[in-house]
Amino acid sequence: MPVEKVYLELTSKCNLNCTMCYRRAWRHLTEDMSEEVLDMSLEQIKALPSVKEVVIGGIGEPLYHPAVGRVMRKLKDRYLFLTTNGTIMNGSLAKNIVECVDHVVISVDGLSDTYYSIRRFPLEKVIENIRLLNEVRAGSTDKTSASVSQYEATMLDKYRERGADIPPMLSFQMVLSKANRDEVFGVVDLASSLNVSQVILSNILPASNDAADLILYKLHGNEELNAFFHRIRNYAHKAGIVVLFPAYELKTERRCRFVEGQTVMITASGDVAPCYRLAHDGNEIVFGREKDVFAHSFGSIMEKPLNEIWDSAPYTNYRMAVYNNRYPSCPDCDLIDGCDMVATTEVDCYGYMPTCADCLWSRRLIYCV
């Protein structure tokens, strides 16, 4: 099965330093993707007709990269996502986004005061930028998607019903914690006022003990958050906004959206990583346990073609193990308090390297596009 989706990390740098971001726990310097690596990335993506979707994103801010406009124009024949904090915008950039991008996901973690406390940036400026984007897209229908899913087609129909001009589709992403949970309703209202179609909710992935104190999800039994999500669901339904919810407690089911979506990530250095989590060295707190996360690369696009890396035995074996759930589950293991292997992502008790046994994405506690 070939690669169908690529996350392209133009930069691991960001113009913000948000309080909940796990970039703060990275153990390496940030970098922009060089022209050489960028040209090779674009060349290899374009050479693979199987690649239907590209996410211009990563953990950095893609609009911070000087070549982002060229990248959008080069990839406009694919279904193109842009994930952004929404703080960087001008007329030329807005025009490029409208003409090239299918789906823009903007991080909004609360209303004015809470947003500022998390991001140290005024929400009002982000709202101005969204309005500029709306003004530009109101006069343009240039983008023709190469591949539109049934879900996306339904969302585009909802845009038309609400009188909104397309493209692109707009979504908010909100990282939920005890610090901002009560502002979800206000964020839904804000989305409705700005022709934003959906709000994507994710839980916080803590990289410090302070952040771990803010999590809303639990190992078992979380009726309070379940009831809270029910209230949000009905409130958003009345407002005409779709809300995508994370899990609120540990479940048996594990599904990796990266593996099942036949997805790779090309980091700013040109390494091919299997997912966001294993793209950078850092640490995380998983249900009260500190864990060292080590970046894992299956190869570099500067040394081998992307399809060869994808088809290599180590990468294929890794995907098969994850897809078939042939790896242990650390959070609910009876031996967790006496096991040294839970301290890192290097290897698990089944011998798999790297290990996904503690991954909160596979449990849908953490969610991204």
Q: Say yes or no to pLDDT of 143 above 80.
A: no
CA–CA gap between residue 102 and residue 116 (Å, rounded): 28
For the domain that residue 186 is a member of, what is the CATH number?
A: 3.20.20.70
* Range of the structural domain that residue 109 is part of: 5-273
Question: Is residue 272 helix, strand or coil?
Answer: strand
pLDDT band at 125 (very low <50, low <70, confident <90, very high): very high
| Within a domain: 225 | yes
| Within a domain: 349 | no
Which of 75-79, 102-106, 154-158, 336-340 is predicted with the least confidence, judged by mean pLDDT? 154-158
Q: Say yes or no to pLDDT of 282 above 60.
A: yes
Mean pLDDT score, 143-163: 50
Shortest CA distance to 147 belongs to which of 267, 28, 4? 4
Mean pLDDT score, 17-40: 90
Q: What is the pLDDT of residue 163?
A: 45
Q: What is the pLDDT of residue 26?
A: 87
Q: What is the pLDDT of residue 301?
A: 98
Mean pLDDT score, 88-93: 96
Instruction: Compute the mean pLDDT over every residue in the chain, rounded to the nearest whole number.
Output: 93
pLDDT band at 141 (very low <50, low <70, confident <90, very high): low
Q: What is the pLDDT of residue 150?
A: 55
Q: Is the dihedral of CA 50, 55, 60, 65 positive or negative?
A: positive
**Alpha helices (H) in the chain, listed in sequence order:** 35-46, 68-74, 91-100, 112-119, 123-138, 150-161, 184-193, 209-212, 223-239, 257-260, 306-311, 313-323
CA–CA gap between residue 335 and residue 299 (Å, rounded): 34
Number of domains in the chain: 1
| Within a domain: 337 | no
pLDDT band at 142 (very low <50, low <70, confident <90, very high): low
Q: What is the pLDDT of residue 35?
A: 98
Mean pLDDT score, 21-34: 87
| Within a domain: 268 | yes
HSE-up (13 A, CA, CB side) for residue 35 = 1
List pLDDT tens digits, range 313-338.
Answer: 999 999 999 999 999 999 999 999 99
Q: Is the pTM of this model over 0.85?
A: yes
Mean pLDDT score, 277-286: 96
Residue with tokens 């803590």: 206
Q: What is the pLDDT of residue 138?
A: 87
Question: Is residue 213 helix, strand or coil?
Answer: coil
Q: Say yes or no to pLDDT of 215 above 60.
A: yes
- Residues of the chain with pLDDT > 70: what percent? 93
pLDDT band at 59 (very low <50, low <70, confident <90, very high): confident
Shortest CA distance to 359 belongs to which of 303, 275, 299? 275
Q: What is the pLDDT of residue 147?
A: 42
Q: Say yes or no to pLDDT of 119 above 50.
A: yes
Structure token digits, residue 138 = 């109101």
Q: Say yes or no to pLDDT of 144 above 60.
A: no
Q: What is the pLDDT of residue 272?
A: 99
Residue type for 117, please? Answer: S
Question: Is residue 89 helix, strand or coil?
Answer: coil
Which of 135-139, 187-191, 213-217, 228-232 is predicted with the least confidence, judged by mean pLDDT? 135-139
| Within a domain: 74 | yes
Quote the crossing angle between the two packed helices 91-100 and 123-138, to the nearest 10°: 60
pLDDT band at 161 (very low <50, low <70, confident <90, very high): low
Mean pLDDT score, 286-295: 96
| Within a domain: 298 | no
Mean pLDDT score, 262-284: 97
Q: How far is CA 260 from CA 3, 242, 302, in A?
A: 11, 23, 26
